[in-house]
Amino acid sequence: MPFKLNQDRRHRIPRQKHRVANSAAYGAALRQRGSLTVWFTDAAIGGWRTEPRTTPGRQPCYSPLAILTALTLHALFRLALRQAEGLIGSIIGLLGLELRVPDHSTLSRRAKTLAVPRPLPRRDGEAMHLLVDSTALRLCGAGEWLQEKHGTKTRRSWRTLHIGLDAGSGQIVAASLTAKEVDDGAEVGPLLNQVTGVVASFTGDGGYDQDRVYAGVAERHPDAAVIVPPRLTTMPSDTAVSAPTQRDRHLQHIAEHGRMAWQRASGYTTRARAEAAIGRFKQVVGDALRSHTDDRRATEVDVAVRALNRMVELGRPNYVRTA
């Protein structure tokens, strides 16, 4: 009898509702993400040095491609700039190439003004379903060392990372780094300005339930649907009967069918992909910023986002519902 009671109280594993249809291809993509195979194309070797400048000033030695390559290794392997300098030098030596290695001071100086390429627009021309989210990234520095070494209690600092994810391709198409005091709704406009193409829907959590968010989306993409859960204290507008807004329609659906039914009907559940992208960022790149100035930190985030997008291009899982 006691064994039967304990058996009944066990947590039962829920039955799997989805499976990966392209498990072989996705497994190969995951292995390729961890591959250390490195090569330099002829175009990369030819473009390692910068083009001669025609304007007055000092002639730079390295092209943006060389700086971007070194900073990518710096971000993915979580190295200091001197260590990144040593790694890129050892790779060039093992490949037998006669290329100069950018030193750590050059990497730090060029990171301030480096323009990291943004993702290209979707080739199919379809409208994009944009998923937004934000997270905190702590700042590395003397305060963190004192906390670990001596157990001192200092006020830690951090920056807020805002991302915009294309739900179809899984690419991070917009990213910005702000101070911790900046509200999520205030950064909607800068994120939308980075998006190329038409946005069909804008999806965010309850922190984006603000009038300026609806106005910012309508200003840039008038036909886009704003899928944001209203707060519990939100009241319908004065024109809810004659000319209901998107928020009014959300409130009406929630009042009639419940909040969970609204999430399924509106497609709000896809926002979990943005949370997964942030989890991937912290797992691969880390939850801390190593640069010491805001402009270099912005470049550090852009380089990391570009690397993560490249990993997504290698392969993604294709989930199908099981019978």
86 and 151 inside one domain: no
**Backbone torsion region of residue 78, taken as left when φ is above 0, otherwise alpha when ψ lies between -120 and 50, otherwise beta:** left
87 and 144 inside one domain: no
Q: Is residue 308 part of a domain?
A: no
135 and 97 inside one domain: no
Q: Report residue 107 CA to chain centroid gap.
A: 23
pLDDT for the residue 156: 66
Q: Is residue 214 part of a domain?
A: yes
Nearest Cα to Cα of residue 170 among 272, 93, 102: 272
244 and 152 inside one domain: yes
What's the rounded mean pLDDT across residues 154-169?
A: 86
Contact 176, 156 (CB under 8 A): no
What's the rounded mean pLDDT across residues 82-104?
A: 94
Q: Is residue 122 part of a domain?
A: no
pLDDT in tens, 171-230: 999 999 999 899 999 999 999 999 988 999 999 999 999 999 999 999 999 999 999 999
Q: Alpha helices, DSSP H only, in 156-258?
A: 188-194, 211-220, 246-257
Domain count, the chain: 2
In this structure, what CATH number is given to the domain that contains residue 144? 3.30.420
pTM as predicted: 0.85
- Ranges 7-11, 50-54, 124-128: which has the least confidence: 7-11
Q: Is residue 23 part of a domain?
A: no
pLDDT for the residue 36: 84
93 and 152 inside one domain: no
pLDDT for the residue 145: 54
* Whether the predicted pLDDT of 144 surpasses 80: no
pLDDT for the residue 6: 53
Query: CA-CA distances (angstroms) from residue 19 to 90, 317, 318, 319, 320?
Result: 42, 9, 8, 5, 6
pLDDT for the residue 150: 60
- Ranges 36-45, 115-124, 303-312: which has the least confidence: 115-124
Task: Note the maximum CA span of the chain.
Answer: 90
> What is the overall mean pLDDT for the chain?
87
105 and 133 inside one domain: no
Q: Is residue 65 part of a domain?
A: yes
pLDDT for the residue 131: 97
pLDDT for the residue 161: 96
Q: Is residue 212 part of a domain?
A: yes
* Whether the predicted pLDDT of 153 surpasses 60: no
167 and 279 inside one domain: yes
Q: Is residue 200 part of a domain?
A: yes
Which of 111, 145, 174 represents a domain boundary (last residue)?
111
88 and 133 inside one domain: no
Q: Is residue 1 part of a domain?
A: no
Nearest Cα to Cα of residue 88 among 99, 235, 41: 99
Pull the structure tokens for residue 26.
């996705």
134 and 280 inside one domain: yes
244 and 145 inside one domain: yes
Contact 214, 193 (CB under 8 A): no
Higher pLDDT, 16 or 45: 45
Domain interval for residue 68: 32-111
184 and 231 inside one domain: yes
Higher pLDDT, 53 or 265: 265
171 and 236 inside one domain: yes
Q: In which band, very low, low, confident or very high, does the pLDDT at 124 lie, cut at 50, 70 and 90?
A: low
